[in-house]
Amino acid sequence: MSDHLLLGLRIGVFGKGGAGKSTVTVFLARALRELGVPVVVLDADSTNVGLAAALGADREPEPLLTYFGGMVFSGGAVTCPVDDPTPLPGAAVALEDLPASCVARTPDDIHLLVAGKLGGLGPGAGCDGPVAKIVRDLRVSHGGTSPVVVVDHKAGFEDAARGALTAVDWAVVAVDPTTAAIQMARHLAATVTAIRLGVPPATSHLERPELAALAVRIFREARVRSVMTVLNRVPTVAAEARLRAALDGSGAPPVAVFGNDPDVGEQWLLGERLRSGPLAEAARALAREIEAAAGPTYAGGADARMAAVSR
């Protein structure tokens, strides 16, 4: 396992609201764990709840936002990556060194971390930029190895615009049968293409030249390779064909199809651990696609890239 191609990789799961990104996250994390590598799920959604229950975790972990000192907007230490692109101090953490309250575990031996939640933080906590910085910079080790990290991002495009794409190796986008989901996949693929072509981020709002240079450097050294699409809640073969046609040439090719399993919707409603044989098999296909795309030159993944940026 020490030289497994997936070790150190970071996979970001994106999607518009309701597209099923958390469902994809749950089943993908399990499928990756079945491949014999350690897996950490990072809940990066600052407002949505329920991921811990869906994974079957033993409890809801305390947010890392508290561990890192709270958000700057409430007098804390964690700044927004748009206003301040400097790396988060102490972002390289070992699971065994974190407070036990910050780490949950599932029956599949997957570890769950929560970046931060806005609920309960009160007035002035409406901007979750500091949560995005934790998500961008966090590097996790466990038992001397770098696990695969699956990041369940907040709905929409905001995290991608804040630089979250610079800290993943692959972006997986959940697409349900809606025009908005198709547009999200296309926009995400276009953003990844721009990053890979060296298009710099917006820096005119940064008054200090060294901060602007750092922002450009982070984008220039990004390791994100491509976008993979998961078609989710697809009701019919005809609907799948229409989705595939709509995504043709987008740069976000469909690599797995999650069917429309009503039992999963019921499990979300009841706050239960997600169970579905068909979705589990679809997630295995997705995991194999990621493993094949990693290749022998990709050992170390985004964790190695982030380590270089922080030096």
What six digits make up the tokens of 291? 């493993």
H-state helical runs in 57-157: 64-67, 129-137
Domain contains 1: no
Count Cβ atoms within 10 A of the Cβ of residue 122 and give its class: 0-12 exposed, 13-18 middle, 19 or more buried: exposed
- What does the chain come to in residues? 311
Sign, CA dihedral 119-123-129-135, equals: negative
Q: What is the pLDDT along the chain (311 residues), one digit of tens a residue?
A: 446 889 999 999 999 999 999 999 999 999 999 999 999 999 999 988 899 999 999 999 999 999 999 999 888 899 999 999 999 999 999 999 999 999 999 999 999 999 999 866 555 556 888 999 999 999 999 999 999 999 999 998 887 777 889 999 999 999 999 999 999 999 999 999 999 999 999 899 999 999 999 999 999 999 899 999 999 999 999 999 999 999 999 999 999 999 899 999 999 999 999 999 999 999 999 999 999 998 765 444 545 444 444 44
Domain contains 2: no
Domain contains 303: yes
Domain contains 82: yes
Number of H helices, E strands in the chain: 11, 10
Place of tokens 């190796």: 169
Q: What is the DSSP letter of 101?
A: G
User: For position 184, which CATH number holds?
Assistant: 3.40.50.300
What residues make up the domain containing 62?
A: 10-310
Domain contains 226: yes
Domain contains 255: yes
* Residue 303 and residue 7 in contact, taking contact as beta carbons nearer than 8 Å: no
Domain contains 236: yes
Q: CA–CA separation, 145 vs 57, rounded Å?
A: 22
Place of tokens 């721009």: 194
Domain contains 217: yes
Q: How many domains does the chain have?
A: 1
Instruction: Tell me which residue of 187, 183, 213, 173 sits closest to 24, measured CA to CA.
Output: 173
